Amino acid sequence: MKQPDKLVYVGVDLHKQHHTAVIIDCWNQKLSEIKFDNKPTAFPQLEKEVKKYTKKGMSAVYGLEDVGGFGRALAVYLTEKGCWVKEVNAKLANNRRKSHVTIQKSDSWDAECVAKVLRDELPNLPDAKPIDLYWAISQLVTQRKWQARSLSGMVKRLHQQLGYHYPSYKKFFSEVDGKTALAFWHKYPSPSRLSGVGVEELATYLRKLSNYALSTKKAEQILTLIAEDGDTSRDFQNSRDYIVRGLVRNIRFYERELTRLEREIESLMKQLGFQLETMTGIELVTAAELVAEIGDIHRFATPDKLARFAGIAPIAVGSGNKHRNYKSKQGNRELHDIIKALSIRQIAVTRTKKEPRNPYFHAYYEQKMAAGKTKQQAIVCIMRKLVNVIHYLMRTKAAYVIPVVSSNQAA
């Protein structure tokens, strides 16, 4: 790494239509500022401006906050030109802005704060490597989140509508949004549609839907529950039935879209060659979420750097003879939450035999609890260990093998 006095630091405030860049030197002196459009034909303007301040023996390092969004095109352009580009966490720049006595807000000042963070935190910031494969996975994961959120909303609305029509609807099927249940709600959105339908007719219908898993007994149960609920029909029943059928169609649509998205994600993940799914608690979607947030693992030379990026590494706070480590609230919070959820899965036990799903991490959790840690503290310890595992699995593309738990650890 070059000496600080041999570098100029370029902080860029990113927007959809345009970007603002501020150039500073190692003494935090502002050298220049430039505003340019967010399109590839305008990016050479920034490069030309920076060259004015990179004389012989000098070089530039660029700091960008949103390399996966509005700043992606610029990040790709700069890296293809061989420039040194760093990813700056938006919270770091925001904290720098708020640390001043007089708090101001402008594109110019935001860009300067990014440049100052870049200067002070350069060794700790990950390189920005906008590889198209990782970006495509990130986009698909984001799309899947939106689709899953929409599906969840539709199911909640279906529950609401069914509560008006069938007060005992939850007893009809094990899953309200299952294949058989959805077909039933679509054909019979309210009890009025079952008028004149006998047990045998309904049983025949259910038998075909469920591949003979449901038949006469289920038909009798449904008709009995409807009779016990009483008359729920109201004026404009056809319009209310239309709402239920529309919700069923939407749920089916989102379920098909989720299936297609997961197939596409699986196809791209295979190209990376990772074996993250071999670890307890990681399936395709979780593996893709990890890849989407981490990107190229080679940006992080050590697990410690990945832990800091995820906001898992503790923050040391001391005064006089008193020193204490506090939980970090910085870093990539999306990645932090993914690893936290994964750590909880590591200490889970099976429903039937109550055996640990991952004996190694379960024993480690018990050790921490026995040592006087709180549950949350023990989980943070597991999270930090998981960072080491994830870092290794992604760098080596190896399969996960549960370590053998010794009798002392199990005790």
What pLDDT, in 10s, does the model give residues 137-161?
999 999 999 999 999 999 999 999 9
pLDDT at 96 over 70: yes
| Average pLDDT of span 298-314 | 90
pLDDT band at 330 (very low <50, low <70, confident <90, very high): confident
| More reliable by pLDDT, 315 or 214 | 214
Residue type, 128: A
Distance (Å, rounded) from C-alpha 315 to C-alpha 312? 9
Report pLDDT for 46. 96
Domains, the chain: 4-130 (3.30.420.10), 135-267 (1.10.287), 273-410 (no CATH)
Report pLDDT for 351. 85
Report pLDDT for 9. 97
pLDDT band at 69 (very low <50, low <70, confident <90, very high): confident
pLDDT at 411 over 80: no
Report pLDDT for 408. 59
pLDDT at 329 over 80: no
Q: What is the 3-state secondary structure (H, E, C) of the chain?
A: CCCHHHEEEEEEECCCCEEEEEEECCCCCEEEEEEEECCHHHHHHHHHHHHCCCCCCCEEEEEECCCCCCCHHHHHHHHHCCCEEEECCHHHHHHHHHCCCCCCCCHHHHHHHHHHHHHHHHHHCCECCCCHHHHHHHHHHHHHHHHHHHHHHHHHHHHHHHHHHCCCHHHCCCCCCCHHHHHHHHHCCCHHHHCCCCHHHHHHHHHHHCCCCCCHHHHHHHHHHHHHHCCCCCCCHHHHHHHHHHHHHHHHHHHHHHHHHHHHHHHHHHHHCCCHHHCCCCCHHHHHHHHHHHCCHHHCCCHHHHHHHCCCCCEEEEECCEEEEECCCCCCHHHHHHHHHHHHHHCCECCCCCCECCHHHHHHHHHHHHCCCCHHHHHHHHHHHHHHHHHHHHHHCCCCCCCCCCHHHHC
| More reliable by pLDDT, 317 or 155 | 155
375-385 confidence digits (pLDDT tens): 999 999 999 99
260-291 confidence digits (pLDDT tens): 999 999 999 999 999 999 999 999 999 999 99
pLDDT at 317 over 70: no
Report pLDDT for 319. 67
Alpha carbon distances (Å) from 213 to 204, 219, 224: 11, 12, 19
343-398 confidence digits (pLDDT tens): 999 999 988 888 999 999 999 999 999 999 999 999 999 999 999 999 999 999 99
- Measuring CA to CA, which residue among 3, 13, 77, 6 is closest to residue 47? 77
